[in-house]
Amino acid sequence: MHHLFSLVRRHGGDILASPGMRRERDFVQHGNVSVFRHSLAVAMTCVKLARKLHLRVDERALVRGALLHDYFLYDWHDPDPSHRWHGFHHASTALRNARRDFALSPVEENMIASHMFPMSLPAPRFRESLLLWIADKWCAIGETVANRKKKPRRKPPSGDAGTPSA
Ligand SMILES: [Fe+2]
Ligand SMILES: [Fe+2]
């Protein structure tokens, strides 16, 4: 676990320390997990999966794309009309923000853009994109289930249409 975190920090230290990622700490993703913690968990899971499966990947791109995949920078539970259809739109919003704040490689761009496929296009084109797609769903399910166990009868916040939000 610790070595995974060191690796994420080595490849994505500048992202982790950025003002945008600091904002992510205040936005809840699933249950009571912030977008920041979710993104970090997804990045570590991506690396773990790639190593377990002995896949040849660009580890730096894998970490950076994963850290930035939910860089949409708003609270999607906020019932603001512009946040409607979050599940369908947030990948392109994340890509736009990430392009503005960081220099992205084509692999990183496709990772971010395709992580909600098939709810939004494009489709994953690289091994790194597929790994992110899997790790994101895996972590989202874990975060949601852990929260249900803690608060079994918690109602979803109003304004949340129940759109999947990984
Ligand atoms: Fe996600
Ligand atoms: Fe997402």
The closest ligand to the CA of 135 turns out to be 1
pLDDT of res. 161:
46
- 14: tokens are 């500048």
Cβ atoms of 38 and 69 within 8 Å: the answer is no
Question: Is the pLDDT at 118 greater than 90, yes or no?
Answer: yes
Query: 162 lies in a domain?
Result: no
Query: 119 lies in a domain?
Result: yes
Neighbouring residues of 146: CB distance < 8 A, sequence distance ≥ 6: 31
Query: 78 lies in a domain?
Result: yes
CA angle in degrees (0–180, nearest 5) for 104-99-31: 100
Residue range(s) defining the domain that contains residue 142: 2-150
In the block, which residue shows the tokens 């377990």? 52
pLDDT of res. 77:
87
pTM of structure: 0.89
Instruction: Provide mean pLDDT across the span 134-162.
Output: 75
CATH number of the domain to which 58 belongs: 1.10.3210.10
* Number of compact structural domains in the chain: 1
Query: 138 lies in a domain?
Result: yes
Cβ atoms of 137 and 66 within 8 Å: the answer is no
Query: 41 lies in a domain?
Result: yes
The closest ligand to the CA of 87 turns out to be 2
Q: What's the 152 CA to ligand 1 centre distance in angstroms?
A: 23
Cβ atoms of 117 and 90 within 8 Å: the answer is no
pLDDT of res. 99:
98
Confidence band (pLDDT; 50, 70, 90) for 162?
Answer: very low
Question: Is the pLDDT at 144 greater than 90, yes or no?
Answer: no
